Structure 1
Amino acid sequence: MPALDPSARPVPLSPTLAINEAIARRRREGRRVLPLGFGEAGIPIHPALTRELAAAADQGAYGPVAGSAALRAAAAGYWYRRGLATDPDLVVSGPGSKPLLYALMMAVGGEIAVPAPSWVSYAAQATLTGAGSVPIATPPGEGGVPNPALLADAVVRARAQGRTIRAVVVTLPDNPTGTLASAATVRRLCAVAREHDLVIISDEIYRDLVHDPSRTVTSPAEYAPERTVVTTALSKSLAAGGWRIGVARLPDAPFGHELRARLLGIASELWSSAPAPMQHAAAYAFGEPAELVEHVDRSRRLHAAVTAAVADRFAAAGARVAAPEAAFYTYPDLDPFRDHLREAHGVRTGAELTELLLERYGVGVLPAAAFGEPERALRVRVATSLLYGDTDERRLAALAAPDPAALPWIAAGLDRIDEVLDDLKAASGHALEPAMAG
């Protein structure tokens, strides 16, 4: 029988996908589930996108590695409308921003500085490149961007040890915290990157889902255009995660052209070209016709309302939680319950807490350790968007509702959060009676 190399480092399933599969298993078993672990956007695909996809279904030939001219021009226009003039020749598409991020890490080389906490895949992908990552704490209340002073210190220390940190990843707005770093923090980060010659990889996939429409996202590409790569995709603002299509904007500088050549070489061996029908639909989406602009705006309002309601439930129970500012995540800290959780439930780590929540209460969330924080941390990422409904009819009703949190099925989810938190804090530690899935 063949055998795997025992020295090869195994790659575990991504925590976000693992929790999604665990929740699906519970549902198949007929057990009650509150799905708060997976970052799915939770809204139906807009009919205009399915129309465009169907119109290109007969496009089965390979295309340019960088992507079609139409998609690259549309993406360039998308960024131009956000204050980032973009050369379409410096846009590269791929089957989702996730593989683009991995290919960029491979192309840049060296260790990657990542925020702590940060999306689960940054550090994992850096490990897959063979170089690894360096976690850098974020400023209080500003997720997604490493503290600039700590970043500078980490780079100096690494180089003194003969190691090379070549790039830093930022997320604007942030997953897992649902917060948005200030322009001042981004400006300071860019100054550090320039001083220490770091590439900035700015993941802006949630850019269009800032809850307050008057608040703008400050991209590092505004302050350090010669060294900033920006990525985005359709999976969050337009809920097309399963379509797997994303784009990267490279710097309009000699470095950007060199990076493009490397990135295309890697892409040519990994995915050849993004699927042509998806590129056609994405070109339409990045053109931002009025029907899609309105759809994104409605989804932004829905995310803001439900995420705020969920955060309020945790805050009312005594958890520490920052007000959500973007996307559909909140990141409550249950440390105020630490002594009780240890005494009543035997919980000492974030992983033990989330296991308790899933196995005893049917609540799926992810521990802070999955996002690069210490095992001891009792923060959890709560993804709220799967509360919108389990059918398209309900999800569309949630999109249209002036107060989506008042809809019966969403209100029931919020009430369930209250029940679980109340029982979790109960002195007896006895669990609520599990209910069968309806």
Structure 2
Amino acid sequence: MPRTDPEGHGPVRYGPPLPADGLPVPPELSAVLAAAASRAEGEPVGGGPALRAAACGYWERRGLPTAPDRVVAAPGAPALLLALTAALGGDVLAPRPCTAWWTPYARLLGRPVYHVATPVECGGVPDPYALLETVRRVRAEGGDPRLLVLSVADDPTATVAPPEFLHETVEAAAGEGLHLVSDETWRDTLHDPQETVLLSPAEMLPGKVTVVTDLAGGLLPPGWPAAVARFPASAAGDGLRARVLDVLTALDACVAAPVAVAAGHVLGEPGPVTARRSAAARLHGRVAAAAHAAVVAGGALARPPRAGRHLYVDLGPLRAALGAQGVSDAQELEDFLTARLGMPAPGGHRFGDDLQALRVRLCTGPLLGASEEERAECLRSPDPLELPHVRRALIQLRSVFDDLRDAQRWEPPR
């Protein structure tokens, strides 16, 4: 009988972390944190004036004018989404697949989560017609959908939603009275910013969208948790922000004071910060493109990665070869590939996908080397794909998928 709940890996107790960049912390940023380490006073709930002002400048440079009284900071985006879900009430809608940490917080609050199919072009944003049908069905069954969470630069699919498609989905959500939370954690990790157009839903529907950005995406190390939220400039936005602050206060969810200083520094985007961010995005983009070529040549399917430090791979075409290895669902595929590749390969069921679908998220960080020195060398090298340790990692990846492809060819028809 197929498993529906993998043993030992419940939806709340286990979830893959954000794809880390694997690179050393820049010395300048370490110095900023160290200089603030002696601060004895704590950061207030929601963030102090300096941090919120820095967030306003960050969004202003992205075409989203923001006042400090529209901003809330927290120790990571999960705390913000938990508070937003509690404050808004009702049922939650999310694309399938979606970021791993979105749905556990709704479940912790006892809120139903309904996944909506995404289009062929991209992940992160529901198909507008599927969204309308899901809302209709949920309401017909007595549900109360109020919140749609989406991401234009997506984890796990590493795609960027085309603006015209995003507009259709945003209009459909607005027509149904849904509040949108736009997770923009990965917007600063575009592999080719000159060729990729990224628009925020908040530019299209200012009064109905709350923007959430976890700084672990492109600005801070994941071990320094900090995130910021931008609320709509409206009476409804005022009320929502106040309720979110109530929840964060009850949780005592404050950004650590030294981390708040570091967060304000990177949100200010001085030259060294933007240069390092751009270099890291280019590096991961090149490695992701090479990994994509390897898995596609091996017979798997994957959308070309456009942002982030990961790609989402569908091994459905290799099902027969995997079945001969005892792999029949995403949990078994996760175990199989993690062992074969020597790196984490979380299955699609971690991201709200069907357990029976043979999909995994692969990250580029582990392909950069085993030591801090090797990973730092990748950042300095004009051709990181030619570094011996990167070549070995990509050859290992390619060989695993090539072996499956060759086994698939010899698998007798069933």
TM-score category (smaller protein): over 0.9
SS at match of 1:99: helix
SS at match of 2:302: coil
1:233 to 202, 214, 227: 214
- The corresponding residue for 1:433 is none
- The corresponding residue for 1:270 is 251
Query: Post-superposition shift, 1:240?
Result: 1.1
Matched ranges for 1:18-417 at <5 A: 39-214=19-194, 215-342=196-323, 344-359=324-339, 362-417=342-397
Unaligned runs of 5+ in 2: 1-9, 410-414
Query: Post-superposition shift, 1:161?
Result: 1.9
Query: Post-superposition shift, 1:195?
Result: 0.8
TM-score by length of 2: 0.92
Percentage of pairs with the same residue: 38
CA distances 1:19-66 after superposition (whole Å, capped 9, x unpaired): xxxxxxxxxxxxxxxxxxx61121121222111111111222233212
- The corresponding residue for 2:6 is none
Query: Post-superposition shift, 1:279?
Result: 0.8
Cα distance in structure 1, aligned partners of 2:310 and 2:248: 31
CA distances 1:283-339 after superposition (whole Å, capped 9, x unpaired): 111000011010001001001000001011001111112111111111121111112
TM-score by length of 1: 0.88
Cα distance in structure 2, aligned partners of 1:79 and 1:353: 40
Q: Bigger shift: 297-306 or 156-165? A: 156-165
2:398 to 418, 421, 425: 418
Cα distance in structure 2, aligned partners of 1:113 and 1:70: 34
Q: Which has the higher contact order (CA 8 A, sep 6+)?
A: 1
Q: Is the 8 A contact 1:95 1:271 kept in 2?
A: no
Cα distance in structure 2, aligned partners of 1:421 and 1:363: 14
Cα distance in structure 2, aligned partners of 1:401 and 1:424: 32
SS at match of 1:373: coil
Cα distance in structure 2, aligned partners of 1:412 and 1:160: 54
Query: Post-superposition shift, 1:426?
Result: 4.7
Query: Post-superposition shift, 1:118?
Result: 0.6
SS at match of 1:358: helix
Q: Is the 8 A contact 1:320 1:333 kept in 2?
A: yes
Cα distance in structure 2, aligned partners of 1:334 and 1:275: 42
Q: Which amino acid aligns with 1:346?
A: G
SS at match of 2:120: coil
Q: Which amino acid aligns with 1:160?
A: A
Query: Post-superposition shift, 1:425?
Result: 4.0
Unaligned runs of 5+ in 1: 1-9, 18-37, 430-438
Q: Is the 8 A contact 1:64 1:273 kept in 2?
A: yes
Cα distance in structure 1, aligned partners of 2:241 and 2:344: 40
Cα distance in structure 2, aligned partners of 1:378 and 1:43: 30
* Root mean square deviation of aligned Cα: 1.7
Q: Which amino acid aligns with 1:48?
A: E
